[in-house]
Chain A
Amino acid sequence: MRIKGDKWTPILFITPSIVAVGIFVYGFISWTGFISFTKWNNVLPDYTLVGFKNYQKLFANMRFQIDLHNTLVFTVVFVGSCLLIGLLLAVLIDQRIKGEGMFRNLFLLPMAVSFIVSGVIWHWLFNPGSIQLGNIGVNQLFEKLGLNFLNSGWYTDPKIGIIAVAIAAIWQFSGYTMALYLAGLRGIPLELREAAAIDGASKWKIFYYITLPFLRPITFGAIIILGHISLKIFDLVVAMTGSGPAFSCDVPALFMYDTTFRGNHFAQGASIAIILLLLVSLLIIPYLITTFSKEA
């Protein structure tokens, strides 16, 4: 028989964290949402409501338009490449090769480095040098290898600036994606592959019809994780490039910091935050829905 108090104990234990999350997450989200509708665009708070004016101005702002475009390019390149490289590495390591542990750690290691550190490293690597002072970094390497045609301005070239940043991020996160996929691969029952092999399926067919379908939930999860990283990216950009020429490396988070703390446009900063939240929700909500519908 259950004791009556038992019903309340779990609730009692969970209350502090609910209150904390309520205040520090949802409370502050609502506060930011409220600020984004006010006139607070100076140091002194001004809570006069102005409707969607901040949002209107934001979408008319050339820097924000560039930022949204950059975010899109960055997300597609970063998530796509991480998935491909991660899967490739995972499949290779899954071949039960010698020194598997070493390779696994080697590929995972970049993730242990903070974005600031890798940002500085890639800032040097991708510094294009100049005609007058000569090539440095990656360009110098290409030059020495006789691969001059690969040289480019990297993050100083307005056309590909954001892709240079994406490459640094890919370097950092494809090892992590590999780890996710490796766990997925190890979770596939060996019998299935053996049975298929006995039925005469080729290696490619086994990969396509058995391995990949099993990896679908992993891919889904990886897209969520990588996608929200790419929407929130800030520190890597700050350390590596700043806004870049013609804002070609700029991202909404950087603009938010600039406009809030340098320009004192607190309401505009808040509206950028809300837009970022909405973008992340686009990713997270479908994920939550599928997760919950499976559990129910």
Chain B
Amino acid sequence: MFRKISIITVLVFMVSVFLTLPVLAESLSGKVEVNSWWTAGGEAEGLNALIKIYEDKYPDIEFINATVAGGAGTNAKAVFKTRMLGGDPPDTFQVHAGHELIDTWVVPGYMQPLTDLYKSEGWTNSMPQGVLDIVSYQGDYWSVPVNIHRSNVLWFNKSIFDEYKITPPRTFTQFFDVCEELKSKGIVPFVMGTKDGWEAAHVFESVLLGKLGTNDYNGLWTGGVKWSDPRVTDALETFAKMGSYLNTDHSALTWDEAGQYLLKEKGAMMIMGDWTNGWFMSVGFEDYGWAPPPNNDGIFLALSDSFALPKDCKNQENVVAWLKVLGSKEGQYSFNKAKGSIPARTDIDISDYNDYLKSAAKDWQKDAISPSVVHGAAASEGWTTEYKDVITLFISKPDVSYAQKALVTAAEEYLE
């Protein structure tokens, strides 16, 4: 009898434990697969910081970190696309906010709006209008931006500039004067790596911006300004001249390999996005300075990495939890500190970020904002690819009238 009772007691106890367990552990379980192209240096550290926050919060969710290597996400995007079209969407994936997000995914109807999440988390107040604009389409918000990068930054080796008493050139004329002087001293004035096929187009964005100014540069991508404009011709001619001061091996190098010129004090200047800052930090290089490229004063050419929620995603609740981490103060603070970018939210204390980031955050608040083309903010992916091809050809074979004609044709096709 006693035995029977004890067995029943134990059984009842066990059953009740099993029943209450899921209630006690109210957090989510299952898994979440996050796709990105953050595999190297600071960006991988940033991602790991986010993963750590997420795993501490939701210890029962298995986090699958599905990264695909390749700068600017060129390979990763191919993988996401194949999966989306094949009806097996990843839970969530990295996408450049702007036209890449809207034209490629939102307009065709592959995404879920995140407007409710924005409201419940208060992001509509904590993110600036410039960011909200590029993630919205038809009144809804479609992705959560984690960071802001600046595309138009002129990096220079401080020792070289100090030695020859050079100040950062503010106009193209000054830029070429500096180039001449450095060239005569046996230093590569202007450094570029064009192996991956997007870098030259990236630099040309800043040149276009310098020649046309924010409004008319934006107009090029919305149809307000024609590509046959004489200022585009001028930009191409200037770019060709800049090309004549380049390191001869640019087509063998990626942008960071080209950055070695700055590290070794063999090259003086480089125009590249501000992930360069993160890369400099990760290789322990401190002897660098920065300035806006010629004629780019007061203009912030921006791009933003964001994550979105595909329709039919299998672990929706877990993804929403991930997006909440991305948009949280804590998430944005630790991610951007490691990656070397500034938070998309403006209500975060970044006083212990490095000097470059602090200055970038200041510029972000006061500068005019323009969207980057190569990094998906200004134009659809189809147009971006054609623009990139034209400029890639141009940097090695600078035929101004041919390039301009090709740019005009591309614009006509995508603006119709």
What residues make up the interface of A, taking CB atoms closer than 8 Å to B? 41-44, 62-63, 123, 127-133, 153, 155-156, 158, 241-248, 257-259, 261-265
Residues of chain B with a CB closer than 8 A to A153's CB:
248-249
Residues of chain B with a CB closer than 8 A to A258's CB:
385
Whether A263 pairs with B396 at a CB distance below 8 angstroms is no
Whether B249 pairs with A129 at a CB distance below 8 angstroms is yes
Assembly CA distance A246 to B82 (angstroms): 29
B105 at the binding interface (Cβ < 8 Å): yes
Assembly CA distance A244 to B264 (angstroms): 25
Closest 5 CB pairs of A and B: A263-B385, A261-B78, A246-B396, A44-B108, A245-B251
Whether B81 pairs with A156 at a CB distance below 8 angstroms is no
Query: CB < 8 Å: which of A43, A127, A133, A245 contacts B81?
Result: A43
Assembly CA distance A258 to B382 (angstroms): 10
Assembly CA distance A245 to B249 (angstroms): 10
Whether A158 pairs with B381 at a CB distance below 8 angstroms is no
Using an 8 Å CB-CB cutoff, how does the interface string of B102-117 with A read, 1 for contact, 0 for none? 0111011110000000
CB neighbors of A among B187-231 (8 A): 187-188, 194-197
Whether B385 pairs with A262 at a CB distance below 8 angstroms is yes
Q: Name, among B81, B247, B393, B397, the residue most crowded by chain A CB atoms within 10 Å (CB to CB).
A: B393
CB neighbors of A among B233-279 (8 A): 247-252, 260-261, 264, 266-267
Whether B74 pairs with A244 at a CB distance below 8 angstroms is no
Residues of chain B with a CB closer than 8 A to A63's CB:
389, 393
* Residue on A nearest B79 in the bound complex, by CB: A261
Query: CB < 8 Å: which of A44, A62, A131, A245 contacts B395?
Result: A245
Whether B381 pairs with A263 at a CB distance below 8 angstroms is yes
Whether B382 pairs with A242 at a CB distance below 8 angstroms is no
CB distance from A239 to the nearest CB of B (A): 11
- Chain B interface helix/strand/loop/mixed: helix
Q: A41-B382, A42-B108, A242-B196 are in contact. Are A262 and B77 (CB under 8 A)?
A: yes
B406 at the binding interface (Cβ < 8 Å): yes
Whether A264 pairs with B382 at a CB distance below 8 angstroms is yes
* Residue on A nearest B186 in the bound complex, by CB: A132
Residues of chain A with a CB closer than 8 A to B196's CB:
242
Residues of chain A with a CB closer than 8 A to B402's CB:
62
Query: CB < 8 Å: which of B266, B382, B386, B393 contacts A133?
Result: B266
B370 at the binding interface (Cβ < 8 Å): no
Q: Name, among A63, A123, A248, A264, the residue most crowded by chain B CB atoms within 10 Å (CB to CB).
A: A264
Residues of chain A with a CB closer than 8 A to B249's CB:
127-130, 133, 153, 156
Q: A63-B393, A158-B396, A244-B251 are in contact. Are A263 and B406 (CB under 8 A)?
A: no
* Residue on A nearest B103 in the bound complex, by CB: A42
Assembly CA distance A244 to B249 (angstroms): 11
- Chain A interface helix/strand/loop/mixed: loop
Residues of chain B with a CB closer than 8 A to A263's CB:
381-382, 384-386
Q: A132-B267, A261-B82 are in contact. Are A43 and B248 (CB under 8 A)?
A: no
Assembly CA distance A262 to B201 (angstroms): 15
* Residue on B nearest A123 in the bound complex, by CB: B252
Whether B397 pairs with A246 at a CB distance below 8 angstroms is yes
Q: A43-B108, A44-B108 are in contact. Are A132 and B188 (CB under 8 A)?
A: yes
CB neighbors of A among B67-95 (8 A): 74, 77-78, 81-82, 84-85
Query: CB < 8 Å: which of B77, B84, B247, B396 contacts A130?
Result: B247
Assembly CA distance A252 to B216 (angstroms): 36
Residues of chain B with a CB closer than 8 A to A155's CB:
251-252
Pairs across A and B, CB under 8 Å, 10 listed? A42-B382, A44-B109, A155-B252, A158-B397, A245-B250, A246-B395, A261-B78, A261-B81, A262-B78, A265-B385
Query: CB < 8 Å: which of B81, B385, B386, B393 contacts A247?
Result: B393
* Residue on A nearest B398 in the bound complex, by CB: A246
CB distance from B272 to the nearest CB of A (A): 18
Assembly CA distance A8 to B303 (angstroms): 65
CB distance from A42 to the nearest CB of B (A): 7
B295 at the binding interface (Cβ < 8 Å): no
Assembly CA distance A265 to B72 (angstroms): 19
Query: CB < 8 Å: which of B266, B382, B392 contacts A132?
Result: B266
Assembly CA distance A262 to B402 (angstroms): 24
* Residue on A nearest B198 in the bound complex, by CB: A262
CB distance from B395 to the nearest CB of A (A): 7
CB distance from B143 to the nearest CB of A (A): 16
Query: CB < 8 Å: which of A129, A130, A246 contacts B393?
Result: A246
Whether B248 pairs with A130 at a CB distance below 8 angstroms is yes
Whether B395 pairs with A132 at a CB distance below 8 angstroms is no
Assembly CA distance A274 to B264 (angstroms): 48
* Residue on A nearest B74 in the bound complex, by CB: A262
Whether B252 pairs with A43 at a CB distance below 8 angstroms is no
CB neighbors of A among B325-353 (8 A): none
Whether A133 pairs with B195 at a CB distance below 8 angstroms is no
Q: A133-B266, A156-B249, A262-B74 are in contact. Are A245 and B194 (CB under 8 A)?
A: yes
Whether B104 pairs with A264 at a CB distance below 8 angstroms is yes
CB distance from A25 to the nearest CB of B (A): 19
CB distance from B412 to the nearest CB of A (A): 12
Q: A130-B248, A262-B78, A263-B381 are in contact. Are A43 and B393 (CB under 8 A)?
A: no
Assembly CA distance A262 to B81 (angstroms): 9
* Residue on B nearest A158 in the bound complex, by CB: B396
Whether A264 pairs with B392 at a CB distance below 8 angstroms is no
Whether B266 pairs with A43 at a CB distance below 8 angstroms is no
Whether B266 pairs with A245 at a CB distance below 8 angstroms is no
Whether B110 pairs with A43 at a CB distance below 8 angstroms is yes
CB distance from B373 to the nearest CB of A (A): 13
Whether A156 pairs with B77 at a CB distance below 8 angstroms is no
* Residue on B nearest A244 in the bound complex, by CB: B251
Assembly CA distance A37 to B396 (angstroms): 34
